[in-house]
């Protein structure tokens, strides 16, 4: 099974940016965590991070026919990007949304998720563990 893990703006600043909300582990720690649990579970993982909406849209479009599913943390684009929503709908791959923090318990504007409207599930507030939960959900859902 092949999964694409997409991470949006400022996730490259993990460990530096608001550590009381996002934790003290770095983006490199997140990548290592994803690679390790995927290897342990027979999942081929590609991990991509960008601060640019178009790059994320391009990655979603290029996933068609290559990946079995998408795990996406759109970060700030969660609350603004109809383009990412439309890309997810266009490729129609099974997708799961992940957020390190529980966006439902934060500022009002963070409670709306456009990309989430094209995702089968959302795991929010579980830190790095949310990525594992999303991948295992897709593995079970796809029967792989």
Domains and CATH numbers, the chain: 2-141 (3.40.50.9100)
Rounded Cα–Cα distance for residues 85 and 81 (Å): 7
Of residues 22, 67, 77, 114, which has the active-site annotation?
A: 22
Centroid of chain to Cα 139: 15
92-110: per-residue pLDDT in tens? 999 999 999 887 766 677 6
Tell me the whole-structure pTM to 2 decimals: 0.93
The question of whether 114 is a catalytic residue gets the answer: no
Of residues 67, 99, 114, 131, which has the active-site annotation?
A: 99
The question of whether 77 is a catalytic residue gets the answer: no
59-73: per-residue pLDDT in tens? 999 999 999 999 999
Task: Kindly tell me if the per-residue pLDDT of 18 is higher than 90.
Answer: no
């Amino acid at each position: 099974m092949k999964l694409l893990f997409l991470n949006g703006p400022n996730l490259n600043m993990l460990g530096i940016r608001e550590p009381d909300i996002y934790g003290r582990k770095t983006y490199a720690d997140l990548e290592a965590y994803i690679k390790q649990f995927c290897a342990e579970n027979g999942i081929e993982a590609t991990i991509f991070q960008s601060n640019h909406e178009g790059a994320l849209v391009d990655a979603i479009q290029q996933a068609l026919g290559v990946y079995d599913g998408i795990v996406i943390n759109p970060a700030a684009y969660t609350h603004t990007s109809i383009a990412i929503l439309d890309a997810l709908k266009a490729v129609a791959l099974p997708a799961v949304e992940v957020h390190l923090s529980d966006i439902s318990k934060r500022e009002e504007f963070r409670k709306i998720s456009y990309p989430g409207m094209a995702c089968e599930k959302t795991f929010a507030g579980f830190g790095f563990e949310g990525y594992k939960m999303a991948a295992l959900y897709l593995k079970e859902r796809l029967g792989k």
